[in-house]
Amino acid sequence: MATKPYKGFSPDWYTDTAPEKSYRSVFKWGDPAAYKVPKENLYKLVKEIFGLSDDNFKQRKELGLEPVEYDIPVTLDDKHLKALEKIVGAKNIATDNYSRLTVAYGQTMYDLMRLRKKIVENVPNAVLYPETREQITDIVAYCNENIIPLYVYGGGSSVTRGTECMKGGISLDMRKNFNKVIEFNQKNQTITVQAGMMGPALEKILNEAPETLKGATERYSCGHFPQSFEYSSVGGWVVTRGAGQNSTYYGKIEDIVLSQEYATPIGYIKTDNTPRKATGPDVGHIMMGSEGTFGVLTHVTLRIFKYQPENRYRYSYMFKSWDDAMNACREVMQGEFGMPSVFRVSDQEETQLMMRMYGITDSPLDTLLKMKGFKDNEKCLLLGFTDGEKKFGKNIAKNIRKVCKKYGAMSLTGIVTKSWEHGRFTDPYLRDNLQDFGIMIDTLECSVNWDNMEQVHLDVRKFCKSRPNTIVTTHISHMYPQGGNLYFIFITPLEDLHEFKEYHSGILDAIQKSGAAISHHHGVGKLFAPWLEGYLGRTQYSIFKALKKHFDPNGIMNPGGTLGLDLEEKDKKFLREYK
């Protein structure tokens, strides 16, 4: 994606397609040929905040253009490779270095930094591309019998080291052959898909249902649009308990999933697909969030929704303070007039950054805002839109206006929302271009109740800002009557791996100490796992260990720290033990 030519000095942004089989082709976001160059005003801002000059942008660093090369031998016994090949067929197994690396890493900055530095760790011995459920159940049974670690790779956008093959073993890449629609049911308004189905493929099929799905007479939507939408799979959404940006209306993935099927070491299970029941503990909620440690998710039945983007009401409001903005959001969430779809509010620093990025700073609108008493570094931006039936949405938009006005907000109309929508899935591309010059962008998020929102925001920012020259922006998204998700983005010149880990870990410490849940939708994986037992408390956490022992007595499913299930005591953090 090109940007307008800079008036001043323009860094030599990398805009070529990542070379085939290069490190860059593995770590870069999304489409190998796509990129997103910062606009000039963002570039200026970055220099200004970090005290950098054009000189700092004359030399690109660690682009990872070299072909993947590393020396981690395949140690899995040949008889096992043969047996696995027999299950999936010769064309569906790979043991070359490049294939092995493509399924081992995700999209946390820790992954990107390692790959830029050509540090390759924890790759599988082989990658399998299963085609059928039967192949997957056979693989699980074989691995269980022969104690071979088993990993699963979906879209690859994990920011928790979720897919990393800590113990070698093998990995199932679900994208290639296990991505089809199994059943569409218009009467129940559901679709059943294989776990490797990618977001855009699913949404396209649903949008075009009358042409693509047997028996469909209407157009549908999946309702789940995480920022990683274009490079995430249905299976990944489910096992990590993901959330889409429209979740305030559609719900998190656990609200959208109707039933799931898993191949586990103890056998195949399919959870009930009725909308609600009273038949003991809910197995669906035991499997969602298991992150590959209990079994391999094969099929998911999802609730689907009418596709009616023409009904959308967009809005945006500027508040004079973070406090006003939070109070208004809470009042909207508790208003019982229906839920907006996208509903997010940026804190002071994020608002300031957005004003710059959207070119509002120093515009007539900026002048008007200042005249009306909306101060720099104090004002906060709320934006979003509705989904659902037209008048339902209109009534929500009206009520939002009423509440925002009560808290002194000024409407900026739907135009700001449109700007945001425009970049919502492409912003991750920016990361690569900035990191080419040593500036990293990463995020952490947590779930918070309204009565603790201000404190968590203060505490976590305080730690983040303890690092000099760091931009820390925050928004509340995915809101509920009882609270919401506080999402922190930190941008800073940082190239040292150890330094990154210390900083990242410090933020997680701050989140945990502040009393928030350590993840709202990113999941836990291997990166956040040391904090999990302290967060749940030892007795509650012991339930996970009991389930793990039951499903996977040989410890072959996603081993090496996932959910902390095989972590040693000394590697766990107990900063605040919950009761």
The helix or strand, by DSSP H or E, that contains position 568, with its residue range, turns out to be none
Instruction: Please state the closest distance from residue 321 (CB atom) to a copy of itself, in A.
Output: 17
Helix (H) and strand (E) counts for the chain?
Answer: 22, 18
| In the complex, minimum distance from the CB of residue 312 to a copy of itself, in angstroms, rounded to a whole number | 12
Neighbours of 357 (CB within 10 A): 18
Distances (CA, A) of 406 to 319, 389, 401, 410, 417: 11, 26, 9, 10, 21
The bridge status of strand 220-221 relative to strand 305-306 is: antiparallel
Pull the structure tokens for residue 226.
């995480």
Of the pair 53, 540, the CB lying nearest a copy of itself is at 540
Please say which residue, 25 or 271, places its beta carbon nearer to a copy of itself.
271
SS3 state of residue 473? strand
Burial of 344 (0-12, 13-18, 19+ CB in 10 A): buried
Q: Could you tell me the smallest distance in angstroms from the CB atom of residue 545 to a copy of itself?
A: 9
* Least distance in angstroms from the C-beta of 531 to a copy of itself: 9
User: 192 or 492: whose CB is closer to a copy of itself?
Assistant: 192
In Å, how far from its chain's centre is CA 276?
27
φ and ψ at residue 65, rounded to 5 degrees: -85, -10
Residues 6+ apart with CB under 8 A from 558: 149, 150, 151, 152, 162, 291, 292, 293
Considering beta carbons, is residue 372 or 550 the nearer one to a copy of itself?
550
Written as one string, the DSSP assignment of 528-563 is: TGGGHHHHH-HHHHHHHHHHHHHH-TT--BSTTTGG
**Helix 497-514 vs helix 109-116: angle between axes, to the nearest 10 degrees?**
170
CB 342 → a copy of itself: shortest distance, Å?
Answer: 16
Cβ proximity to a copy of itself: between 469 and 482 the closer is: 482
- Residue 537 beta carbon to a copy of itself: minimum distance, rounded to whole angstroms: 7
Cβ distance to a copy of itself smaller for residue 19 or 537: 537
Q: State in angstroms the smallest separation of the CB of 253 from a copy of itself.
A: 9
Nearer Cβ to a copy of itself, position 461 or 522? 522
Q: For the CA atoms of 289, 291, 292, 293, what is the dihedral angle to 10 degrees?
A: -80
Q: Which is nearer to a copy of itself, 47 or 401 (CB)?
A: 401
Give the residue with the Cβ less far from a copy of itself, 64 or 235: 235
Q: How far apart are CA 503 and CA 510, in angstroms?
A: 11
- Of residues 25 and 293, the one with the C-beta less far from a copy of itself: 293
- For every residue of 371-390, which 3-state class applies, written as one string? HCCCCCCCCEEEEEECCCCH
Contact 379, 369 (CB under 8 A): yes
Cα three-residue angle 236-26-99, rounded to 5 degrees: 80
Q: Which of 56, 51, 7, 44 is nearest to 356 (CA)?
A: 44
CB of 287 to a copy of itself, least distance (A): 7
Nearer CB in complex with a copy of itself: 143/288: 288
* Spatial distance between the Cα atoms of 284 and 257, rounded to a whole number of angstroms: 9
How would you label 296-313 residue by residue, b for 16+ Cβ within 10 Å and e otherwise?
A: bbbbbbbbbbebbeebbb
Residue ranges in 387-474 assigned as alpha helix (H): 390-406, 415-423, 427-435, 450-465
CB of 240 to a copy of itself, least distance (A): 6
Considering the complex, what minimum distance in angstroms separates the CB of residue 445 from a copy of itself?
9
Shortest Å, Cβ 62 to a copy of itself: 31
Least distance (Å) between residue 295 CB and a copy of itself: 10
Q: What angle do CA 424, 429, 430 make, to 5 degrees?
A: 95
- The nearer residue to a copy of itself, 374 or 551, going by C-beta atoms, is 551
Cβ closest to a copy of itself, residue 97 vs residue 137? 137
Q: What amino acid is encoded at 340 in this protein?
A: P
Q: What is the largest CA-CA distance in the chain?
A: 76
How far is the C-alpha of 557 from the C-alpha of 149, rounded, in Å? 6
CA–CA dist 281, 427 (Å, integer): 40
> Which of 201/547 has CB closer to a copy of itself?
547
Cα 47 from chain centre:
28
Cβ 72 to a copy of itself shortest distance, Å: 30
Rank residues 335 and 493 by Cβ distance to a copy of itself and give the closer one.
Answer: 335
Q: How far is the CB of 267 from a copy of itself (least distance, A)?
A: 4
Sign of the four-CA dihedral 389, 395, 401, 406: negative
Minimum distance between the CB of residue 477 and a copy of itself, rounded to whole angstroms? 12
